[in-house]
A and B are shown apart, each in its own frame.
Chain A
Amino acid sequence: MHGLAVLDLLARTLATLVVAAWLPAPTLLAQGPVQVPLNYNWNGIAHAGETGQPDAPNGFRSISDRALDFTGGVPTDPVLSRYALVGTAGALDMVHLGNRNTVDNGNWAFDSSPNSNAVGTQPSWLSNPNQTGSQTTNLTTPIPLGLQSQATVLFHVSNGGGSCDVTFSFQSGATATRTITAPDWFNGAFAGRDSVDRADAGNNLGLVEATLDLSAFAGEALTRIAFGNRSNTNAGYGIYAVNVVPAPEPATETRIALNYNWNGIVHAGEAGLPDAPNGYRSIADKGLDFRTGVPATPLLAGFDLVAAPGSPDLVMLGNRNAVGSAQYPFDPLPDGDNLGTQPAWLPNPDLTGPQTTTLATPVLLDGSSTASFLYQMSHGGGAFDVTFTFATASITTTLTASDWAGGSYLALDDVDRAQTFTMLRIEDATIDLSPASGLVLTAITFGNSSNSNGSCAILAATVTGCLSCSNSGGPFAYGGGNGPTMSTSATGALGCPLDWQVQGATPGTLLGRFALSFRATGIQLSSVFPACSGTIHVDMPLTAVAFVDATGTATFSLPAQTDPGFCGLAIIAQYAELVPTSCPVLLSDALSITIGN
């Protein structure tokens, strides 16, 4: 693509986005865990101003006789810092599972009226002290789950500790229940308060961070979280936060053109011709029946399978002359039986060695990269290895398969004659390549079968990731701001989204704009507004409204572009906002992202 045409394309994209940016709900790239806003039902953390007032009508109450001490704010701690914890007084700040009137054998039942002891009265925010039933949080925005999805729960349990259940509900209606367990909360790493609702300085308390694997629900969307079923009915359970690792943002999917070495799927016109010199041959004694086309199933929809006859359509791993205890060796001459002769497209039936596909377009792995395969294996199934080759490293993984018989895909039996109907299984597997982010995948190799009596067919493969450029790319900070900062989670890789995030803008302002350009300049803002510092680095920019949230943060995102012509292109962004001060322009640092590896 001509350079100018690329610029035109991107400009059109930018212009579209500028328009789109006026619309509500600009998307944020979800890279880290989602901090789930729990449906708090209890004010049970002692914040500044909440201690020493056991009978405050609307104040703090312990879930038993103690509480976390946040009187100095949320403690600085690497675990706590990952969660959205309530740092202010006078608000519900936890999910309580228990009954304050019965916890610890009823020692801390609410007073009926205020008195001078440490036990308070039932607060106005608590309609019913019995919170032993399931405590549910409905998510206003469902969280999509992926292969790396997990939930972490931050909680503790009084009076000897115990377990409770966490039930996750999904958009499909499915649910999953997991049990979390904590020891007694006494003597942990976090400052604590005692004296029940008086919340005097007390012994430290412990918190447990339970991790629950949700990867089995990849593809689902989480809609609800509920806590219930206490194992210790004498204890109070305090659940402070839940984080969920969502599915990564979808990246560009590359359907790999595998280096097929076998015509082993029966396409139209290929059945009934066991000795056709250039025709179909089974990898063992059966073959998938694609005579009416590739079956329209969700499993196969994400792959490119060969739909036409007369060409190799799978990667065979095995030896047709040895498979099935050597029951299906090629005939030396055409003889009309079910066993065909060695076809012209097969120079050597022994394909037990490594079978390699070199990628025509290398894939730059990113933080969401996966590789998926369709395959099947005859005669008992087994395992084989897939090796991903990069410029500087390699990764091998083992895929396993059950015997191919008895699946849900139409197939044809009778070895190379392909005549009798049968059913076969197609296996699928997805491998997480995200930890190899930054590596460029150049080849995929299959080998090392664990079943010397079976044949393996690899039908298709896809890899998600960014695309590789020949130039290096990435963000570059120009500076130039007079307050707000600019950052990005993007690497600049082709085929992956780009984003710019400004922090330090005026919360909720409607007067902020993102300015983007393809060229850099260096105009002192003081040349326009003498009272201002800062440098304008965007040259002849397009602008988009910035939706600044309550924390002074706004994000501008560009969708993934896959055209190699974009390689090397730099896009510079800067945020500007009108403010009623002597310098009327709040200007962020400028940040450019060059598209490349």
Chain B
Amino acid sequence: MHSRSRSVTDVLARLALAATALSAALAAQNQPPAAPRFTEPPIANLVLNPSDVHMETAPFADPNPGDQHAASDFEIWTVSPSQRVWAGLGLTGFEKIHAHLGDGTFENSHTGWHRLFANTQFVLRARHKDDSGVPATEWSPWTSVPFATGDAGIKLPMLLEDVDDVPAPTWTEASNPSAAIDLPPGFPSSMLRIETDTRWQLLRIDGTTGPGNRVTNPPGLPVHRAIRVVIEAGNVGQNLQLPASDLRGFEHSCASFVIHLPAIDLPPFSRAEFWVSDHGGTYDATGSPFVPTFTNLARSVPLPWEPLQDGFTLDVVASNLRMPVNIAFVPNPGTGPLDPKFYVTELYGTIKVVTNNGTVGDYATNLLNYTPSGAFPGSGEQGLAGIAVDPTSGDVLVSHLWRTGGQNNPRITRLTSQNGGLTSSSRQVILNMLGEPQGQSHQISALEIVNGELFCHMGDGFNFQTAQNLGSFRGKILRMDLSGAPIVTNPFYNGGAITARDYVYCYGVRNPFGGALRAADGRRYCVENGPNVDRLTQLVPGRNFGWNNTNASMFNFALHAWDPSAGPVSIAFVQPQTFGGSDFPAELQDRAFVTESGATYAQGEQTIGKRITTFAFDMNGNVTNGPIPFVEYTGDGFATAAALAAGPDGLYFSEFYRDAMTTGPTAMGARILRVRYGDPLDCDGNGLPDSCELASGAADCNGNGVLDVCDLQNGTSHDFDGNGVPDECDPLFASVDEISLSTGGTVDFDLDAGAGNAGQLYRLLGSMTGTAPGTQFGSLTLPLNSFNDPWFQLTSTVFSPTILQGTIGQLDAAGRAQAAIVVPPLPLSLLGITFHHAYLVTDPATQPLFTSNAVPLTMAP
């Protein structure tokens, strides 16, 4: 019994020891980081801007002392279905604790999108990763927070939590961006400050006695809040008077913002307060000092449209138009500054020509023989609509109404020019559809020339029975030659006396405003307005699209149905066959772009309409994705998107109405805008201004003021060794990475080992067996394989000073040298072999000091 008892004691003692050891082992093991805590959104179930979701966590915490925050994953899931729709994985840098939608990728139901769906429930989750390198325990548990998105078209406040010191914010006159606003001094001084709705300061600018202002820029806040701008007049001896101005700055990660301030005239000791919308418009905050309201506009955004995809910009190419309906580019434009570039139809009977240098002129006027005098919206919505340019003659063909016998009948007119297309000299009606009266909206509209055939879209004239009547031109898509004669292969062509039936390409449509050819499948597509449902269709010869005065019929053959109606007006395809793809990126080629006008003359941002959307198609012409918002209206005015055409340098669209309220919808002042890919201020297209990226330390190793990544993209620099750094910044630069076996050639090398190696010895060596594992020199590795490598041996011995020129020598006072290898013609058996070269620096006692990168040289035929 005693021995048994001792035995138990021994076992317990051993267990105790084992437990101690286990505890120690566990203590030594890596523990996962603590689950992140969201600071934004700070609480669950907030309603957030679908375009701007701030995802922030509290700083990394880990039970293992010394563990650092290596990376983070952020994910957004829809609740129903439970599906990941956005992911920013493995984020590093500042984004480890503060991610935006632009830091990740949209996927699944959100593939191709650039914002979240509006009015949808989501769950955001995040986890932190430590730097232990232990896969099983390096990730924290996930933390989740549910949220919802609000309407996409609702004006929301600008949210900020910081204003970067570098680049410094600027405050300049709106009409002269080079003129800085200089606040006057006083007792007290005048002042501008950006603060949150909670009155937390983001930036303060005070007037000073000297030139310039005193800027106070406190540290960033712990959370994003809605911002407002307060301008205090102070007591400067007179009213504080400032012109309209723009306050520009950056938040973390070079996210830029602009605040558009109105002109100011403030008596002493008074102040002006403004809420700021998410696009920078300002609104009087006097009546609602704590809750952002956007009722009383102070100054609107100058260009109230925003491309949603990084890398795109907008500019105005023509102004002071009156209800521009359609745009037609000259297919083969001249290169002179005054050569016509495109034409624009204005609803009330004028054709504008816009030249290469942007001059806007009248090509033709009085295309209507009556004055549309009806209400707007209403019977005033009629007149001149479609336009196409004959690629052979340069003649302009337009569709319009013409009053005959008390009725407004549709017709197609050809206009010719004697001065290179700048003004029309004569006109000829090529198809006059008498007895087919049309009124507001449901009228003759789009024209398109495809392979010498003219397509014409015809509304039903507010008489739905016409759409099903092959004896009527109305409610049809017509096809004819450029003289106005029907194409004999039209599906209902029956020869004899030419009637409407002979022109019909397809029928059963209501109000087919827009149509365009998709070259990839040779089919034309159409956007059509219904009563409450609109549709996108592929135009198939002979097809009856079934319009019968019901919304249900608008679903017939719909590739996409807008339900409720969004008012699609124009469709255009960006494609290589049209001006080489309009300089758009490859992923957007062969896509349809559609202007959605929304409600007639609606003011401000809209949930439905006032945007351009895009559709992707498969090889069979089926819509695979869309409509995806591409450009959205962000202003406070009345402009909406109508005309749309792919041009040589971007996608052009019209604001159908003047944006500012003046004399109503028919006022002059509408514009043509261009969406271009490639922001000159954002060479890498990541949505961040280059100036900010450079100021924030982005790589510019050659100091040319251009991001390295852009130097490589645009060919200014090359990166033969593929290390992501322009070769001229590497210790070893080679002039070429390929050489012809048949002709030979010379490779010039620039060696730069740094001033610290000045005067030391170098040896440029080569390998034809690769770079890994390399060759060891003391503690240094030269990235050239040497074992059984004949080229390494030959370069080591400098077998031919004629071929190996300057490959051994002494670095100059800057640690630099030049060398060259003169490659003679070589046998084709070496074709495809890649040689590498690198150099070793040693001191006179041959102690290795430095090894360079390896540069490749491939043998070509």
Write the residues of chain A forming the contact surface with B, with a CB cutoff of 8 angstroms.
Answer: 77-79, 147-148, 150, 183, 187-189, 203-204, 211-213, 215-216, 379-383, 385, 387, 390, 392-398, 400, 402, 431-437, 439, 448-454
A387 to B565, CA, bound (A): 52
Contacting pair A397 B564 (CB below 8 A): no
Contacting pair B195 A189 (CB below 8 A): no
Q: Which of B47, B150, B187 contacts A380 (CB 8 A)?
A: B187
Q: Is B532 an interface residue, CB under 8 A from the partner?
A: yes
Given contacts A395-B221, A436-B222, contact A216 B199 (CB under 8 A): no
Contacting pair A187 B188 (CB below 8 A): no
Given contacts A204-B564, A435-B42, contact A396 B291 (CB under 8 A): no
- Nearest opposing residue in chain B for A179, CB measure: B295
Contacting pair A213 B288 (CB below 8 A): yes
- For window 278-294 of B, CB contacts with A under 8 Å fall at 287-291, 293
Q: Is B622 an interface residue, CB under 8 A from the partner?
A: no
- Nearest opposing residue in chain B for A389, CB measure: B219
Contacting pair B564 A382 (CB below 8 A): no
A-B CB proximity, top 7 nearest: A382-B188, A78-B148, A451-B188, A213-B291, A453-B187, A215-B290, A396-B218
Given contacts A382-B234, A448-B216, contact A398 B293 (CB under 8 A): no
Contacting pair B225 A78 (CB below 8 A): no
- For window 1-59 of B, CB contacts with A under 8 Å fall at 42, 45, 47, 59
How many CB-defined contacts (below 8 Å) exist between A and B?
126
Task: Return A155 CB to nearest CB of chain B, in Å.
Answer: 16
A395 to B291, CA, bound (A): 20
Q: Is B427 an interface residue, CB under 8 A from the partner?
A: no
Contacting pair B222 A78 (CB below 8 A): no
Q: Is B571 an interface residue, CB under 8 A from the partner?
A: no
A81 to B277, CA, bound (A): 26
Task: Return A522 CB to nearest CB of chain B, in Å.
Answer: 24
Q: Is B206 an interface residue, CB under 8 A from the partner?
A: yes
Contacting pair A211 B607 (CB below 8 A): no
Contacting pair A215 B289 (CB below 8 A): yes
Contacting pair A383 B216 (CB below 8 A): no
Contacting pair B219 A394 (CB below 8 A): yes
Contacting pair B293 A213 (CB below 8 A): yes
Q: Is B599 an interface residue, CB under 8 A from the partner?
A: yes
A383 contacts which chain B residues (CB < 8 A)? Answer: 188, 191, 232
Task: Return A555 CB to nearest CB of chain B, in Å.
Answer: 19
Contacting pair B119 A203 (CB below 8 A): no
Given contacts A78-B47, A187-B565, contact A435 B223 (CB under 8 A): yes
- Nearest opposing residue in chain A for B204, CB measure: A398
Contacting pair B187 A393 (CB below 8 A): no
Task: Return A154 CB to nearest CB of chain B, in Å.
Answer: 13
Contacting pair B195 A397 (CB below 8 A): yes
* Residue from B119, B206, B222, B564 whose CB has the most chain A CB atoms within 10 Å: B222
- For window 243-295 of B, CB contacts with A under 8 Å fall at 269, 271, 287-291, 293
16 CB < 8 A contacts A-B:
A78-B149, A187-B564, A188-B607, A203-B564, A213-B290, A215-B289, A379-B187, A381-B188, A383-B188, A393-B220, A395-B222, A396-B218, A400-B232, A432-B198, A439-B222, A448-B216
Contacting pair A450 B206 (CB below 8 A): yes
Contacting pair A189 B42 (CB below 8 A): no
B150 contacts which chain A residues (CB < 8 A)? Answer: 78-79
1/0 per position for B621-652, CB-CB distance to A under 8 A?
Answer: 00000000000000000000000000000000
A79 to B216, CA, bound (A): 39
Task: Return B714 CB to nearest CB of chain A, in Å.
Answer: 41
Given contacts A78-B119, A148-B290, A450-B234, contact A431 B187 (CB under 8 A): no
Contacting pair A451 B187 (CB below 8 A): yes
Give the number of residues in B that approach A within 8 Å (Cβ atoms).
49
Q: Is B549 an interface residue, CB under 8 A from the partner?
A: no
Contacting pair A211 B198 (CB below 8 A): no
Q: Is B301 an interface residue, CB under 8 A from the partner?
A: no
Contacting pair A385 B204 (CB below 8 A): yes
Given contacts A189-B151, A203-B532, A398-B193, contact A432 B199 (CB under 8 A): yes
Contacting pair A79 B204 (CB below 8 A): no
A380 to B187, CA, bound (A): 6
* Residue from B47, B121, B187, B607 whose CB has the most chain A CB atoms within 10 Å: B187
- For window 721-777 of B, CB contacts with A under 8 Å fall at none
A78 to B50, CA, bound (A): 13
Q: Is B189 an interface residue, CB under 8 A from the partner?
A: yes
A216 to B290, CA, bound (A): 8
Given contacts A187-B532, A393-B219, A398-B199, contact A450 B232 (CB under 8 A): yes
- Nearest opposing residue in chain A for B290, CB measure: A215
- Nearest opposing residue in chain B for A152, CB measure: B291
Q: Is B787 an interface residue, CB under 8 A from the partner?
A: no
A187 to B189, CA, bound (A): 51
- For window 173-205 of B, CB contacts with A under 8 Å fall at 187-189, 191, 193, 195, 198-201, 204
Task: Return B60 CB to nearest CB of chain A, in Å.
Answer: 12
Contacting pair B599 A187 (CB below 8 A): yes
A450 contacts which chain B residues (CB < 8 A)? Answer: 188-189, 191, 206, 232, 234
Q: Which of A77, A381, A432 contacts B269 (CB 8 A)?
A: A381
Q: Which of A187, A385, A400 contacts B608 (CB 8 A)?
A: A187
* Residue from A211, A379, A436 whose CB has the most chain B CB atoms within 10 Å: A436
B532 contacts which chain A residues (CB < 8 A)? Answer: 187, 203
Task: Return B284 CB to nearest CB of chain A, in Å.
Answer: 13
Q: Which of A79, A188, A400, A435 contacts B198 (CB 8 A)?
A: A435
Contacting pair B216 A435 (CB below 8 A): no
- Nearest opposing residue in chain B for A403, CB measure: B269
- Nearest opposing residue in chain A for B206, CB measure: A450
* Other 10 A-B pairs with CB < 8 A, given A383-B188, A450-B188, A450-B234: A78-B149, A150-B290, A187-B599, A187-B608, A203-B532, A382-B187, A387-B218, A394-B219, A397-B201, A431-B200
A213 contacts which chain B residues (CB < 8 A)? Answer: 287-291, 293
- Nearest opposing residue in chain B for A453, CB measure: B187
Q: Is B235 an interface residue, CB under 8 A from the partner?
A: yes
- Nearest opposing residue in chain A for B223, CB measure: A435
- Nearest opposing residue in chain B for A429, CB measure: B199
A36 to B293, CA, bound (A): 22
B607 contacts which chain A residues (CB < 8 A)? Answer: 188-189
Given contacts A78-B121, A150-B291, A381-B269, contact A431 B189 (CB under 8 A): no
- Nearest opposing residue in chain B for A78, CB measure: B148
A451 to B187, CA, bound (A): 5
B269 contacts which chain A residues (CB < 8 A)? Answer: 380-381, 402
B291 contacts which chain A residues (CB < 8 A)? Answer: 150, 211-213, 215
A432 contacts which chain B residues (CB < 8 A)? Answer: 198-199
A78 contacts which chain B residues (CB < 8 A)? Answer: 45, 47, 119, 121, 148-150
A215 contacts which chain B residues (CB < 8 A)? Answer: 289-291
B191 contacts which chain A residues (CB < 8 A)? Answer: 383, 450
A437 to B43, CA, bound (A): 11
Task: Return B6 CB to nearest CB of chain A, in Å.
Answer: 36
1/0 per position for B286-322, CB-CB distance to A under 8 A?
Answer: 0111110100000000000000000000000000000
Contacting pair B187 A452 (CB below 8 A): yes
Q: Which of A382, A385, A390, A451 contacts B201 (CB 8 A)?
A: A385
- For window 201-235 of B, CB contacts with A under 8 Å fall at 201, 204, 206, 216, 218-223, 225, 230, 232, 234-235
A189 to B151, CA, bound (A): 9
Given contacts A402-B269, A448-B216, contact A397 B290 (CB under 8 A): no
Task: Return A414 CB to nearest CB of chain B, in Å.
Answer: 22
Task: Return A478 CB to nearest CB of chain B, in Å.
Answer: 19
A394 to B220, CA, bound (A): 8
Task: Return A370 CB to nearest CB of chain B, in Å.
Answer: 10
A394 to B223, CA, bound (A): 11
* Residue from B189, B198, B234 whose CB has the most chain A CB atoms within 10 Å: B198
- Nearest opposing residue in chain B for A433, CB measure: B198
Contacting pair A397 B200 (CB below 8 A): yes
A396 contacts which chain B residues (CB < 8 A)? Answer: 200-201, 218
A213 to B197, CA, bound (A): 12
- Nearest opposing residue in chain B for A430, CB measure: B199
